[in-house]
Amino acid sequence: MGRRKQSRPLRSGGVVDNVSSFEVDNPIGVDGIVDANRTVVADTNRFFEIDQSNWASDKHLDIAEVIVRDSRPRAGLLDCCLTEDCSIEDSRFSFRFRLHNVEEYSERFKLGTWPVISTDKIFLEVLEKCTVEDNKDEVVIFSGIFDGPDDSVSGLVHLVSKNMLVVRPIQEARVFDHVLTLTMRVEILDKAFDACESLLDNTREPWRRSMVCVMAWLRPEVTTQETIYGVDGSKPAEFDMQMDPADNHIAFRRNIKFNAADFYEAIKPSKDAPMLEDELPDLLPELRPYQRRAAYWMVEREKGMPQRSDDMVQYDFHKPLCVPMNFLYSDSRMFYNPFSGSVSLHPELFTPYISGGILAVSSERAF
């Protein structure tokens, strides 16, 4: 990886607390060559360093790949070019997120309630250690933006800042359509699994919302109805191609009609259901068949046992609170709760039987 030496490189820094104006001989972030008498207002930035300690590990739990595009226009990309002769994982380079002009969210950052930030204010920066005029410094050689929803990209930075996720480059920078790009791999870390005691845990924590947003962006297949509920949504709806799209949508909604008779037939208890056979000497009235079926149901619920032996068949554990998700280029997988954002390396088994309940039986047709 190499770069052309600049006479006045762009230096990195910490969080800028105050907005001030000052005289500079170059506007920041274009191509390093500017009008000498232009006044520039320094924007408030917040930086989050990316931990690179696990990049050299042989085991990675990668969940996605994203392409980051350089946000700064470059004349022929000659002032800054990451080449293949040097690995980007070289110790000379460091990575960080820069949140641009986010002073309005300062209090939320302090309280730990992560805001949704516009993607045009979120930058992934690559810095190179160098020596300029006998002074050691770091120069921003790449400042990229993500192509994703605001809440998802914000959530990614949030989880990286909490060491639950990490991003790392998997190849040298490439020039695509005259734009410098980096391919980054997103990895989930052990801390994310340690934060979840159970996939059923629905504690309201800010990082869980971020996890849900990130997964919806990077792994949308685990959030579909077909994956969660087993509902096949691949069958296309019938539309009139000559009709206005808005009218088509209204017509589609109107064609969905609720049939009360079909619903009743689907939920009413079967007359072949088992009945309570025990004699109740202290009960004066004689129970009708539907009452014996209802009494049997209530007694079995009180016992905490399934009504029939075939109810003990193992339930499909990954629907809907334990969705399996394969890691990239690996035979291993994790399990994800798309409703709470909980993650685990181990599945949790569920059964369709739930103790307790409400008995509501229509008696007029149950004889």
Q: What is the pLDDT of residue 113?
A: 85
Task: Find, among 278, 273, 308, the residue nearest to 293 by Cα.
Answer: 273
Give the count of beta carbons closer than 10 Å to the beta carbon of residue 3: 17
Q: Classify burial at 84, counting beta carbons within 10 Å of its beta carbon; exposed 0-12, middle 13-18, buried 19 or more.
A: exposed
Query: Which residues contact residue 212 at a Cβ distance below 8 angstroms, ignoring those fewer than 6 apart?
Result: 155, 338, 339, 340, 341
User: What pLDDT does residue 357 have?
Assistant: 64
Cite the DSSP H helix spans in 83-149: 106-111
pLDDT tens, the chain, 367 aa long: 444 444 444 444 434 343 333 333 333 343 433 343 434 444 589 999 999 998 988 889 999 999 999 887 654 443 444 444 445 556 788 999 999 999 899 888 888 888 999 999 999 999 988 877 777 888 888 999 999 999 999 999 999 999 999 999 987 667 766 788 889 999 999 999 999 988 888 888 999 999 999 999 999 998 887 777 766 555 544 444 455 545 544 444 455 566 777 777 777 767 788 888 887 788 888 888 888 888 888 888 777 655 454 444 444 555 688 899 999 988 899 999 999 999 999 988 766 566 666 666 555 554 4
Q: What is the pLDDT of residue 352?
A: 58
Angle (nearest 5°) at CA 33 between 28 and 34: 70
Looking at residue 300, what is its pLDDT? 80
pTM over 0.85: no
Q: Look at residue 68 in the predicted model and tell me its pLDDT.
A: 93
Tell me the CA end-to-end span of the chain in Å, nearest whole number: 82
Token pair 């690559």 in the structure block, residue:
126
Tokens at residue 90, please? 């070289």
| DSSP symbols for 270-303 | PTTS-------TT--SPPPHHHHHHHHHHHHHHH
pLDDT of amino acid 354 = 62
Residue (of 349, 340, 350, 348) closest to 192 by Cα position: 340
Tokens for 249? 């949508």
At what angle are helices 206-218 and 150-161 packed, to 10 degrees? 120
What CA–CA distance (Å, rounded) separates 59 from 40?
46
Q: What's the pLDDT at 304?
A: 67
